[in-house]
Amino acid sequence: MELERRSQWLRGVLDLCVLGLLAQRESYGYELIQSLSAAGLGTIQGGTLYPVLLRLQRSGQVAAYWREGAAGPARKYYRITPEGGQTLRRAAADWQSFAGGVDVILREVAAR
Amino acid sequence: MELERRSQWLRGVLDLCVLGLLAQRESYGYELIQSLSAAGLGTIQGGTLYPVLLRLQRSGQVAAYWREGAAGPARKYYRITPEGGQTLRRAAADWQSFAGGVDVILREVAAR
DNA sequence: TCGGCTAGGTAGCGACGCCAACTAGCTTGC
DNA sequence: GCAAGCTAGTTGGCGTCGCTACCTAGCCGA
């Protein structure tokens, strides 16, 4: 995957994906990076993800608390707030509508 | 659709969609705006689209020529180049892979 | 002649993902 | 005992690109 393009595609999607993962279960930054990579979105750098989490926290979409790490440094756990859940549901529906529109245009191209 | 978010989603996708439309048939800026709107991507402003077309032209993805308008001012027609076609096919495949990964994360959310 | 539609272009702004660099706790191995 | 190396989080500056706002200009109907 072309890296330059992927980084553009992440805009406005990365925070949604983070919310989506947190909707499944609470987690912390370092683990989210691994989850996003496992989902096929590529390696998100810490310098990219942590500001996202701070923005989500400041806007009330997620809540955070520190927990002692069993092994290693302490972790900052995040869980989604009801407000974050609302945002997520609305935006996820919008995304699927948008991506559907893009697919209509790109589908025939890929078919060849 | 939330406008702020849509404009983020357009990043890295808008030029692809323009290429995709030009792969179907040659066209000009003003018509492309209408086609994009018809495809469900919302209203793209001229101040957004024309720089995109200039970038595509400068990078050799599309070729342009002026044609007299039957009624109204002259039109700058664009058609996709072989190089643009290659870019389009590769990027369209990447997009579908990327969007698939996002869908995996967002699917369960939308289901509720 | 005055909108209003068509058609294209430019300038400055802001959001955000990127890279690079940093702190700091814990484990492993020499 | 100490140097790597992994885990975990944070910050700062940079570049891209869609956005708004504004401009030129041809053509038409009232």
Q: Say yes or no to pLDDT of B111 above 70.
A: no
Confidence (pTM): 0.91
Residue B48's domain comprises 3-110
Is pLDDT of A53 > 70?
Answer: yes
The letter for the amino acid at B76 is K
Q: Mean per-residue pLDDT for A80-88?
A: 96
Give strand letter and number of the nucleotide nearest A49 (CA to C1').
Answer: C17
At residue B60, does pLDDT exceed 60?
A: yes
Note whether B111 contacts A: Cβ–Cβ < 8 A.
no
Three-class SS of residue A74? coil
Output the six-digit token pair for B78. Answer: 């664009």
User: Which has more pLDDT, A65 or B110?
Assistant: A65
Amino acid code (one letter) for A95: W
Task: State the pairing for strand pair B75-80/B62-67.
Answer: antiparallel
Chain B residues within 8 A of A97 when measuring between CB atoms = 1, 40
Q: What would the mean pLDDT of B38-47 be, rounded to a whole number?
A: 94
B109: chain A residues, CB-CB within 8 Å? 20, 23, 88-89, 92
Tell which strand D nucleotides have any atom below 7 Å from a protein Cβ. Answer: 6-13, 16-22, 25-28
Confidence of residue B99 (pLDDT cuts 50, 70, 90): very high
Task: Check which CATH number belongs to the domain holding B97 and give it.
Answer: 1.10.10.10
The pLDDT tens digits for B67-94 are 987 788 999 999 999 999 999 999 999 9
pLDDT at residue A111, as a whole number: 58
Is B98:B92 a contact under the CB 8 Å cutoff?
no
Helical H segments across B1-112, by residue range: 3-9, 14-24, 29-36, 46-58, 82-111
Percentage, residues of chain B above pLDDT 70: 97
Question: Does the CA dihedral A4-A58-B105-B18 come out positive or negative?
Answer: negative
* Confidence at residue A36, expressed as pLDDT on a 0 to 100 scale: 95
φ and ψ at residue B77, rounded to 5 degrees? -85, 145
pLDDT of residue A8: 96
CA–CA separation, A27 and A31 (whole Å):
7
Closest chain B residue to the Cα of A96, Cα to Cα = B103
Q: Residues B52, B10: contact at Cβ < 8 Å?
A: no
Q: How far is A83 from chain B (nearest CA, A)?
A: 14
A18 contacts chain B (CB < 8 A): no
Kindly determine whether residue B40 and residue A89, on different chains, have CB atoms separated by under 8 Å.
Answer: no
Whether B5 and A91 lie within 8 Å, measured CB to CB: yes
Residue with nearest Cα to nucleotide C25 C1': A73
The count of domains in chain B is 1
The pLDDT assigned to B70 comes to 74
Q: Give CA–CA dist B24/B32, Å, rounded.
A: 12
CA B37/CA A87 separation, integer angstroms: 25
Confidence of residue B41 (pLDDT cuts 50, 70, 90): very high
Q: Where are the alpha helices (DSSP H) in A25-81?
A: 29-36, 46-58
